[in-house]
Chain A
């Protein structure tokens, strides 16, 4: 994921921004902008009105569309103590406290709340550990951070400009210079910061106000040359440095200054040295990475500041003058951001849940609608009423049929003509019927005379076989001598009830 970092350099007259982007292909200067410090924002090297300054920074960012929230800002405060300290042989357990204590005793900082930081540099000739310390008044840094916070910039570090300058030039100008000492002079008006890199390591830092504008006056330039000379002499005499070659790199912080004139002067004065004088806004070639066409006027210091947060080759000089309270505020802000994110995530999850529930609800509604359509126009109540009505109608019909059957079905319901016809058909020859009677109890009694008992029995059997008679039984058979030996008989038949009655 690409990482961006913003460098903010504030000087007495200029605000410079540089946005760097780190991608898989390396780092490049994406955007840069510079603008004047608005009147009333700064006074005597300190932020006077944080709101005015914030507005100016915001406007500058807006006009050039410079995004990026993570930023490193240059230390803009007065007074500042910039010093190389030689640590005692018995190293103090807490170097930070030691530095703080030393800084408080320094006349340059007449205040109680001192903010300091340090970084280790090369040891002294005698082998004592040395540190580069920077200290300033804490309130001044608060003002600076407040201005940037109001401009919507999340300051991650506050760093002296000279360290940022050294970082920006490190890869191209310092790395590989093992046979020469590199002296970087950061010039701003009458102030000059001289940094010496010996064997690629920071070895010397000196900050001087020489009283005259270096770029504008001959006298200033002479004094500047004297300072350089003094350092070179110091290395030749005091340190017995075997390295005779010097590279002198002068960075002029104010734009539109007599860079060429200063360059000519230094070349004349130090003919044996390799001299280069650049403006801080025209030092693209001295930077180790690509610069977008829009950002060719990028401020060297702003770029160096932004580089701090990126993974690029840089000197082991890390100093952060961020007040502890600001760091705490940042931690609180971070915690609150995390909490807000968690709350947001929960809210989002709930909204998603609501959306899912809504979708399910719509689907269920559709299903209900379909089921409603599928159902008949009659409701359950109507169907139940209809069922009851039909049941009662059926019962009433059944009852009526039963009543009618009761009245119509009393007695024998079969067809007497068929019964009588059948009886005639089944009557054997030597037998005649004299009396035939049937009653309501489906009985038929047949009486008559026969010439023989066999005929009677045959008749009984024949009647028994009739489909209209269930059973036939002989009730009486008696031979009568008075009737000439004829046999009188009586047969009782049970009539078959026809089906369906």
Chain B
């Protein structure tokens, strides 16, 4: 019936009907066949852009990471250097007990040594559960100017840092012509934080 109606209709109607049918078919085929592929391609292209962007960012991040790593290494070395200037509790005991010997080696006469403890209340916590505490002592000795210089050189020429906080040289009134020297030295001792707290 429909075919008959189609055949009996005018040519214009037939063309119109066919065109409409073809149009609907074209839209349907486009939606069913072409569009998913087009959308997939679009998504893939967007993904490609994102990937490119990510690669660029990763490149920047990698170069930053390299720079950061170098900086960390530099800081690590610097820190190692700084840590080397610290005494351990054992080393500090040995150091103070050796001062008289150092005096002797420098041709100086040791007069006095007073332990002042942490007079400046300097203590800081560092990494690895360690705490650094300053420990001071007043050292009195006599010697020639050159011997004093020699003693000071011996005192400071070591891995651990010995800070001379104050120095006083006076000429003595006696006949020995020796100079009297008074020093206040400070050393930094690294303790285990737990052990130090318990003390």
Q: Are B148 and A420 in contact (CB under 8 A)?
A: yes
Using A398-B75, A420-B145 as known contacts, say yes or no to A380 and B126 having CB atoms under 8 A apart.
no
Known: A415-B156, A416-B156. A437 touches B15 (CB 8 A): no
B65 within 8 A of A: yes
Provide the residues of chain A in CB contact with B71, threshold 8 Å.
390, 394
Q: Does any Cβ of B come within 8 Å of A475's Cβ?
A: no
**Contact present for A406 and B7 (CB under 8 Å):** no
Please give the distance in Å from B73's CB to the nearest CB on chain A: 10
B22 touches A407 (CB 8 A): no
Would you call A13 an interface residue if the criterion is a C-beta within 8 Å of the partner chain's C-beta atoms?
A: no
Given known contacts A336-B18, A403-B126, A383 and B132 CB-to-CB distance under 8 angstroms = no
Does A403 contact B145, Cβ atoms closer than 8 Å? no
> Which single residue of chain B is at the shortest CB-CB distance from A406?
B124
Q: Which residue among B11, B37, B171, B186 has the maximum number of chain A CB atoms within 10 Å of its CB?
A: B37
Shortest Cβ distance from B132 into A: residue: A407
Q: Is B101 close to A, CB under 8 A?
A: no
> Within 8 Å of chain A (Cβ to Cβ): is B104?
no
Q: Is B116 an interface residue (CB 8 A)?
A: no
Which listed residue (B72, B145, B169) contacts A393, Cβ 8 A? B72
A436 cross-chain contacts in B, Cβ below 8 A: 167-169
The minimal Cβ–Cβ distance linking B3 to chain A, given in whole angstroms, is: 9
Which of B24-32, B89-97, B107-115 is the interface stretch? B24-32
Once the chains are docked, how many angstroms separate the CA of A406 from the CA of B150? 28
Q: How far apart are B136's CB and chain A's nearest CB, in angstroms?
A: 10
B65 touches A387 (CB 8 A): yes
Q: Does A408 contact B (CB under 8 A)?
A: yes
A328-B7, A410-B163 as given contacts; A346 in contact with B152, CB under 8 Å = no
Asked if B166 and A424 make an inter-chain contact with CB atoms under 8 angstroms apart, the answer reads no
Give 1 or 0 for each of A357-393: 1 = CB within 8 Å of chain B CB. 1101100110110011011101110011011001101
Docked-complex contact B166 and A439, CB < 8 angstroms: yes
Residues of B within 8 A of A354 (CB): 33-34, 37
- Tell me if A217 is interfacial: C-beta within 8 Å of chain B: no
Give which listed residue, B7, B57, B78, B167, contacts A438 with CB less than 8 A.
B167
Say whether A413 faces chain B, with CB atoms less than 8 Å apart: yes
- Pick the contact of B48: A368, A374, A411, A433 (CB < 8 A): A368
The reply to whether A371 and B132 contact each other, CB–CB distance below 8 Å, is no
* Closest chain A residue to B156, Cβ basis: A415
B163, A367: Cβ atoms closer than 8 Å: no
Partner of B15, one of A335, A412, A416, A424: A335
Q: How many B residues touch the partner, as a band?
A: 35 or more
A435, B169: Cβ atoms closer than 8 Å: yes
A interface footprint on B113-124 (CB within 8 Å = 1, 0 otherwise): 000000010111
Are A408 and B163 also in contact (CB < 8 A) when A361-B44, A387-B68, A397-B76 are? yes
Task: Find chain B residues with CB under 8 A from A408 CB.
Answer: 82, 85-86, 161, 163, 188
Known: A384-B61, A411-B186. A400 touches B165 (CB 8 A): no
Q: CB-defined interface of A227-239 with B at 8 Å, one 1/0 digit per residue?
A: 0000000000000
CB neighbours (8 Å) of A416 from chain B are 152, 156, 164, 167
Verify if A39 is at the interface (C-beta below 8 Å from B). no
A106 contacts across to B, CB distance below 8 A: none
- Given A346-B29, A435-B170, are A357 and B165 neighbors across the interface (CB < 8 Å)? no
Instruction: Select B72's contact among A338, A346, A390, beta carbons within 8 Å.
Output: A390
Interface size of A by CB at 8 A reads: 69
- Residue among A365, A374, A420, A437 facing the most chain B CB atoms (10 A cut-off): A420
Given the contacts A361-B44, A368-B44, A416-B152, A410 and B37 also touching, CB distance less than 8 Å: no
Closest Cβ–Cβ distance, residue B53 to chain A (whole Å): 10
B21: min CB distance to chain A, Å: 7
Q: How far is the CA of A406 from the CA of B186 in the complex (A)?
A: 13
Q: In the complex, are the beta carbons of A403 and B124 less than 8 A apart?
A: yes
- CA gap between A386 and B169 in the complex, in Å: 55
Which residues from A are CB-within-8-Å of B30?
A: 350
Indicate whether A347 reaches chain B with its CB closer than 8 angstroms.
Answer: yes
Please tell me if A401 contacts chain B, counting CB pairs below 8 Å. yes
Contacts of B186 in A (CB 8 A): 410-411
How far apart are the CA atoms of A269 and B51 in the complex, in Å? 103
Nearest-Cβ distance from residue A359 to partner chain B, whole angstroms: 10
> In the complex, are the beta carbons of B26 and A346 less than 8 A apart?
yes
Q: With A328-B7, A371-B48, A417-B152 given, can you name 19 additional A-B contacts, CB distance below 8 Å?
A: A332-B14, A335-B18, A339-B21, A343-B21, A343-B26, A347-B29, A353-B34, A365-B44, A383-B58, A394-B75, A401-B79, A404-B79, A407-B124, A410-B165, A417-B149, A417-B153, A417-B156, A420-B148, A435-B171
B-to-A contact residues, CB < 8 Å: 6-7, 11, 14-15, 18-19, 21-22, 25-26, 29-30, 33-34, 37-38, 40-41, 44-45, 47-48, 51-52, 54-55, 57-58, 61-62, 64-65, 68-69, 71-72, 75-76, 78-79, 82-83, 85-86, 120, 122-127, 132, 134, 145-146, 148-150, 152-153, 156, 161, 163-171, 186, 188
Give 11 pairs: A residue, B residue, CB < 8 Å, sorted on A: A329-B7, A331-B11, A360-B41, A361-B37, A390-B68, A405-B82, A408-B86, A417-B156, A420-B145, A436-B168, A437-B166
Leading 7 A-B pairs by shortest Cβ distance? A397-B75, A339-B18, A417-B153, A390-B68, A417-B152, A383-B61, A357-B37
